[in-house]
Structure 1
Amino acid sequence: MMHCPCRGRLKLLLASLSFIILLTWLYLLAGNLENGRSLLLAPCLLESTEARFLEREVLASRVRQVEEENRQIRLQLSQSQGQTEGNYGNQQWVASADTGAEDVENTAEERANHSECVRSPTAEKCELIHVACVCAGHNASRDVVTLVKSILFHRRNPLHFHFITDTVANQILSTLFQSWMVPSVQVSFYDADELKPEVSWIPNKHYSGIYGLMKLTLTKALPSDLSKVIVLDTDITFATDIAELWAIFRKFTAKQVIGLVENQSDWYLGNLWKNHKPWPALGRGFNTGVILLYLERLRKLGWEQMWRLTAERELMSMLSTSLADQDIFNAIIKQNPVLVHQLPCFWNVQLSDHTRSEQCYTEVSDLKVIHWNSPKKLRVKNKHVEFFRNLYLTFLEYDGNLLRRELFGCPSQATSESTRLQKALEELDEDDQCYDFRRERIMVHRVHLYFLEYEYTSTEDDTDVTLVAQLSMDRLQMLEAICKHWEGPISLALYMSDAEAQQFLRYAQASEVLKNRKNVGYHIVYKEGQFYPVNMVRNVALRNAKTPYVFLTDIDFLPMYGLYDYLRKSIVQLDMANTKKALVVPAFETLRYRLSFPKSKAELLSMLDMGTLYTFRYHVWTKGHAPTNYAKWRTATTPYKVEWEADFEPYVVVRRDCPEYDQRFVGFGWNKVSHIMELDALEYDLMVLPNAFMIHMPHAPSFDISKFRSSPSYRFCLTTLKEEFHQDLSRKYGAAALKYLTAQRNI
């Protein structure tokens, strides 16, 4: 075989070329590291310790450089996700529909992992945050309390709530906040009736009615020196400190005046059904459940004229609004997109059906504000609705007394009532054996008036009378029976915890009897302290009776059928408008849980003779009702007068302006006795009605009577309070009241 000399040269050429390529690759690699720092070290040197150390240093330096570059990229990305620079076209942190699923997950993961580093700034320490709500009616007043609880739970700043209310909500919320006494919380009210002419000309199909348009008037309704405010719907729940939302005002550009979250439904896209024609909006439009309003700038822009002209122009073709103020806000923004600062959508996670709300969060920590913006409220369709519902229920049933906490480090803005209470507490002797009883007397309980819808129309003859009583959760079953026996107005005070109040609400809404009675006022007195403040609770029910006369009774008594009409006739007959009388309704009792209720006095007397009925407490506390003179009542046909005797505690009908119950008496003992004693001191005539009666239904002993029977300390303190009451009565009514002290000593 002949050897070809060219083949050797070819091998040499290939080897040389490979070596050159290798050297070039190593040179380029070295150029990328440390800006050209050479790694082309002799093979023999690579074996040395110095070479290995140098290599590690170079690689470590490069790793640190890459990590720093990545950190800067993540920081910039997170900042761009957490804010938008003004115009509608800017992207929120949520990826758009055409973004890959992997990118969305990576973005969410990076944001979650670095949330502490890029957290948005909050308000300055002790900076006052202003919050506005439009609230009208009984249901909205109940809803707004849950919103307020969620805000108070997270807050670290003083708050000023601005409520635009009707008469009903004003009475409910003003009483609630006065009795709640939360430190560093101010409340202002504005009359919605005065604002109605501003928006009543706008036809509106939304279920919120005219009140759904009133957010448009806030530049006029709120004080002229108020520059910024957060505006919220009543069906909002906060999952974070509201100061974070307030701080977003700092991100507004010079031209931005409104902060809003994009609408998460397809409403404004106009494709929900055939011929669906929404108001004009940019893209999906914006939801007005959460609004940052820069009032100062809006006023300078001539906001009132702006929204009026926009509404007038669009109504020419649209004829009415479908989503109330939201339609008008969106029409304005469509024409002036520079005005809006788009908020990240987690500031208004909208839970109405057919929304894109699930794209607003990937972790629980993402949630900021939950918005139940559906008429169905908690029954909306959302794969995480159970979680949202539980979060809402947490605040719904949360003990509001626990939110009375001070903001340490901020100047306290104590109200006159809280100052008075603090002074009264300081004057008490903590070593006094009856300290707890005395403290209960001055305690201020949180009160929610008219917890359910209430309607009352006064009668023309001024003889109307309200049944007044108090109860706790264990007497709830009496309500339906009382409503069947008494067709007139009722004022009930219910002593309950926040959670029990919600149980009562569900019970009442499920009862055909109760939900059809609109003339029953239910007033919640929230539990606090060791004792049942029975007279304080009675006074709440008494103060909120609307009629000229009141029938003061207990919840475990059923009035006879027709008693309401009979009392109204007796009021006229006995000229109660011009005389001081207390009409006594004789009390009886049964030991049977099932009773065929007597339909007349004759039938009652027959049952009395047969032993089916008894005069009330004849075998336990005879003196409580003995002065009624049941023997005379059996044959009486006209009202008769009886004299006061020690421990007399009848159930009476009096004018509404009668003295209130003495609140020093709590739990069991002397709570009604003291009241009748004061009526007698005021020279009320005690008149027994001959054709009236009421029957006490059996029930288990109350917790307080058990404490009275088992605790010597309880009985000692009750005796002490009696003596002090006698002394106070003598100072108040002079020598005429000495007979009460004498009667007590003769017992």
Structure 2
Amino acid sequence: MGLEAMIWSHYGKAVLLLLVIVVILQAYHMSKLMKYHDRKKAEFNAVDNFHEEKKSDKKVEKNLRAAHSIKQNNLLKYIEKLENPHVMDSSGTYMIIPDILSTVTEESNETLSICTQTTANNLHYLKDVTETWHGPVSVTVFTHSYDAVFALYSVVYMHNCLEKVQTMVRFHIAFPISNPPVNLKTITNMEMHCDNFESFTYGNKNNYENEIPYPHNVLRNIAVTYSITPYILIIDIDMIPSKDLNAHFSQFSNRKQSSVTKEDKNMEEKLVYVVPAFESKSSSRVYDKQFLINEWDLQNVRSFYQNVCWKCQKVTDYDRWRGLPSLPFFDVGYVLEWEDPWEPFYIARKQNLPLYDGRFKQYGFNRISQICELHIAGYQFAVLNNAFLVHRGFKEPGKFHSKKDEENDKNRELFRLFKEELKERYPSLNRQC
């Protein structure tokens, strides 16, 4: 090998070695860069998470400020309404504050409203009602004296903490003129946290267990009067309507209106749609007819008042209702004449519907007195095929309040007087109850 070849041979090896070293250094450098970027990314994510947590904290803080704002800005307005009412019931016994904080518009495209009544300690049932029901609700809350602080707090809590309640429910408050609200301004010192719904109530005290008589019918009339739809469904607050009842009834009503004749229209004005009622010991909150029947077969569901007053619902004819042909829409299953002592729940046109007699208070004859008047006035009772109500829990004879029988006897005497008055009110109609 010549000298020149040897030089180029050593030079080539050196160049090759340098190339290898450069490649190794580049790989090392890239490795370092990747670790650096990973570290910076982790740092960035940590900072981002920190800011997100801060945003979340600010959101919580904002919600707390909003609750505080509700308390400071609006509670005084609600207190003023309670302290300065302008509406009195027809008997001159109760003051009424209609729509105390409702955001539900007066103009509604809905067909049907639920109308109900309660004291503040049972308002929590509205949560389950509005999970199943997707239409307007008109509820009257009865209160008095020191209880009014909790009543107002409860109404404001339900309205501000439950979105569906806020958009669907109109709250009306009624109290005896002889026992007006007191110490209302103490509510401004009460904190309101929407995450404590489970501890929202202070016990499930029965509406009847109070020194002040509970005026069911006055409260029902208020809820009906201030409802905003042409049809109403009057229920107890611890009842759940069947799934999509309002949507199905709206379709049923529209279908009937599109084919109605003048004769049909006249009949419609004196027709109520019976909604069969049941009791359930199941924890379920959503029922369609097939699921109801399945629970019925398992003895988790039974007809309403089965063990308390089976005669009060037997005219509904539950077996006949159960056996109606399966249809995917509402229709009239069959039409019934009223018989004593039937007291069905029903849907009716609000216009010209006889109101409830406000003299009936506490337990007994408060609903059947109005049903009796419907019968005397010439109404018929059409049972809907797929609509129904479910009362939570089985009603048993021994679980009523202690003065139930005494109140029932007192109201029975009033009912006899009421029936005599109906004869004078409807002299041309040959009906009795």
Shorter-normalised TM range: 0.5 to 0.7
Compared CA separation, residues 140 and 610, structure 1 to 2 (3 A): same
**1:502 aligned to which of 147, 152, 163:** 152
**2:275 aligned to which of 554, 567, 585:** 585
Compared CA separation, residues 458 and 508, structure 1 to 2 (3 A): same
SS at match of 2:94: coil
Letter of the 1:481 partner, please give it.
D
Shift of residue 635, structure 1, vs aligned partner: 1.8
**1:680 aligned to which of 356, 361, 375:** 375
- Which residue of the partner structure matches residue 717 of structure 1? 410
1:236-635 equivalences under 5 Å are 442-456=91-105, 458=107, 464-497=111-144, 498-509=148-159, 511-514=161-164, 517-527=166-176, 528=179, 530-575=212-257, 578=266, 579=268, 580-592=270-282, 595-597=283-285, 599-635=287-323
Letter of the 2:150 partner, please give it.
E
Matched, 1:733 2:426: yes
Measured on the aligned residues, the alpha-carbon RMSD in Å equals: 3.0
Compared CA separation, residues 642 and 148, structure 1 to 2 (3 A): closer
Indicate the structure (1 or 2) with the bigger Cα radius of gyration: 1
- Which residue of the partner structure matches residue 649 of structure 1? 343
For the residues of structure 1 that align with 2:129 and 2:288, how far apart are their CA atoms? Answer: 17
Letter of the 1:500 partner, please give it.
F
Compared CA separation, residues 538 and 735, structure 1 to 2 (3 A): same
For the residues of structure 2 that align with 1:737 and 1:472, how far apart are their CA atoms? Answer: 39
Shift of residue 598, structure 1, vs aligned partner: 5.3
SS at match of 1:521: strand
Compared CA separation, residues 708 and 574, structure 1 to 2 (3 A): farther
For the residues of structure 1 that align with 2:322 and 2:216, how far apart are their CA atoms? Answer: 32
For the residues of structure 2 that align with 1:694 and 1:715, how far apart are their CA atoms? Answer: 25
Letter of the 1:649 partner, please give it.
E
SS at match of 1:641: strand
Shift of residue 505, structure 1, vs aligned partner: 3.2
Shift of residue 698, structure 1, vs aligned partner: 2.5
Letter of the 2:228 partner, please give it.
K
For the residues of structure 2 that align with 1:700 and 1:641, how far apart are their CA atoms? Answer: 27
For the residues of structure 1 that align with 2:410 and 2:141, how far apart are their CA atoms? Answer: 26
The answer to whether the 8 A contact 1:458-1:464 is kept is: no
Alpha-carbon displacement from aligned partner over 1:487-522 (angstroms, at most 9, x marks no partner): 11111111123212223134315523455x323100
Letter of the 1:590 partner, please give it.
S
- Which residue of the partner structure matches residue 663 of structure 1? 358
Shift of residue 142, structure 1, vs aligned partner: 6.0
Matched, 1:636 2:324: yes
For the residues of structure 2 that align with 1:561 and 1:591, how far apart are their CA atoms? Answer: 18
For the residues of structure 2 that align with 1:533 and 1:145, how far apart are their CA atoms? Answer: 23
Compared CA separation, residues 147 and 573, structure 1 to 2 (3 A): closer
For the residues of structure 2 that align with 1:559 and 1:538, how far apart are their CA atoms? Answer: 18
1:84-95 equivalences under 5 Å are none
For the residues of structure 1 that align with 2:79 and 2:304, how far apart are their CA atoms? Answer: 43
For the residues of structure 2 that align with 1:140 and 1:655, how far apart are their CA atoms? Answer: 39
The answer to whether the 8 A contact 1:584-1:689 is kept is: yes
The answer to whether the 8 A contact 1:179-1:444 is kept is: yes
| Percent identity over paired residues | 24
Compared CA separation, residues 473 and 698, structure 1 to 2 (3 A): farther
Letter of the 2:322 partner, please give it.
R
Compared CA separation, residues 544 and 148, structure 1 to 2 (3 A): closer
For the residues of structure 2 that align with 1:684 and 1:734, how far apart are their CA atoms? Answer: 16
The answer to whether the 8 A contact 1:480-1:513 is kept is: no
Letter of the 1:536 partner, please give it.
V
Letter of the 1:644 partner, please give it.
W
Alpha-carbon displacement from aligned partner over 1:36-57 (angstroms, at most 9, x marks no partner): xxxxxxxxxxxxxxxxxxxxxx
The answer to whether the 8 A contact 2:127-2:162 is kept is: no
SS at match of 1:739: coil
For the residues of structure 1 that align with 2:395 and 2:273, how far apart are their CA atoms? Answer: 29
Compared CA separation, residues 471 and 700, structure 1 to 2 (3 A): farther
Alpha-carbon displacement from aligned partner over 1:92-138 (angstroms, at most 9, x marks no partner): xxxxxxxxxxxxxxxxxxxxxxxxxxxxxxxxxxxxxxxxxxxxxxx
SS at match of 2:174: strand
The answer to whether the 8 A contact 1:591-1:698 is kept is: yes
SS at match of 1:654: strand
The answer to whether the 8 A contact 1:483-1:513 is kept is: no
For the residues of structure 2 that align with 1:679 and 1:670, how far apart are their CA atoms? Answer: 14
The answer to whether the 8 A contact 1:485-1:559 is kept is: yes
Long gaps (5+) in structure 1? 1-138, 151-172, 181-416, 418-441, 741-747
Shift of residue 148, structure 1, vs aligned partner: 7.9
For the residues of structure 2 that align with 1:509 and 1:664, how far apart are their CA atoms? Answer: 31
By relative contact order (CA 8 Å, sep 6+), the higher-ranking structure is 2
SS at match of 1:603: helix
For the residues of structure 2 that align with 1:677 and 1:519, how far apart are their CA atoms? Answer: 31
- Which residue of the partner structure matches residue 56 of structure 2? none
How many pairs does the alignment contain? 311
